[in-house]
Amino acid sequence: MKLLQALNGEPIWPPPAWLMRQAGRYLPEYRATRAQAGDFISLCLNPALAAEVTLQPIRKFGFDAAILFSDILILPMALGQGLRFAEGEGPRLPPLESLSTLDTARAPGVYAPVMETVRRVRAELPAETALIGFAGGPATVACYMLDGEGGGEFPRTRRLAYEQPGFVAAVLEVLSEATIAYLSAQVEAGADCVMLFESWAGIFPAAQFRELVIAPNRRIIATLKARHPGLKVIGFPRLAGLMLGEYARNTGVDAVGLDTVTDLAKAIDVCPPGTVFQGNLDPLLLKLGGVAMDEAARKLLAQARGRPHIFNLGHGITPDVPEANVARLMEIIRSA
């Protein structure tokens, strides 16, 4: 598998490629399948339909990896926190007030359908196509659990991190243990590697970044690697900025996902020698296509040449991306 070769530090060329949110609303077959499921959570917890949408972009574009179709908030839902997706508004949860709300014992039974999805996808994927399991990083998931919604500011989480650090630490403790169990189950079900999405890592100042992002990620990764020798882990500390180097050095990740605003050359400078990078074409360029996308993709490929690299976006595909642009991007990568 090209993806695993890259994660092992091999400078595969052309680089393996997959795209965040590659299974999603830009595909008409996805929209049809979601309509069949009825709602987003039902789609995530229906193994037959979730496997189908995971496989759709592989059949259409031949990406080098499939990523499990699910959501980072399935885990807090499995722990007992209510979850709903408001149309056009994103996720809604009752803001967490007490750890007594959470029940780790019930979680495996709730997310059991996700493991069946993993098994089905791995059985149907081509042998050369990797399957990526994933979870949200504890700091990111805690933001949604404590604030009760997304949006990017997370004022309650940020306030609690200062005013009630013990409570926030306890939430991260529960989430870290639950994430270890969740990702371990995905590996046992057939995931070839896993990814931690710390999508809101960048909202925390340096000291809190070390405590709330790096430390839990390090614990999760060390435990997973002890349980599953040889397992590769991709970390995505979005908007980490100058903390990127510390994240790469101190978490034990095998590859670092780069967000759109991070310059690859600068990332190479601040991260340990031989760090594998994943990313980071601007998703807007995938929407625009044309000369701008072509030139940016070729520039990124030129920067990555000779290094272990996984071609991806700096964030997820948006629903308004034309399919033809995705096909064109894959053509550029494969002809590099």
> Contact, 248 vs 201, CB < 8 A?
no
Question: Based on C-alpha coordinates, what's the Rg of the chain?
Answer: 19
Three-class DSSP category at 215 = helix
> Contact, 250 vs 227, CB < 8 A?
no
Measure Cα distances from 158 to 91, 203, 262, 320 in Å: 19, 8, 24, 32
The token pair at 70 is: 């699910």
Provide the Cα torsion 252, 257, 262, 266; round to 10°.
Answer: 50
Q: 306: how many CB neighbours lie within 10 A of its CB?
A: 9
The Cα–Cα gap between 202 and 196 comes to 15
For residue 14, cis peptide bond before it (omega within 30 degrees of 0): yes
> Contact, 323 vs 24, CB < 8 A?
no
The Cα–Cα gap between 94 and 335 comes to 49
Catalytic annotation, residues = 21, 25, 34, 71, 144
The Cα–Cα gap between 259 and 307 comes to 18
The token pair at 115 is: 């493991």
Q: Regarding beta strands 90-92 and 84-86, do their DSSP bridges make them parallel or antiparallel, or are they unpaired?
A: antiparallel
At residue 143, what is the residue type?
Answer: C
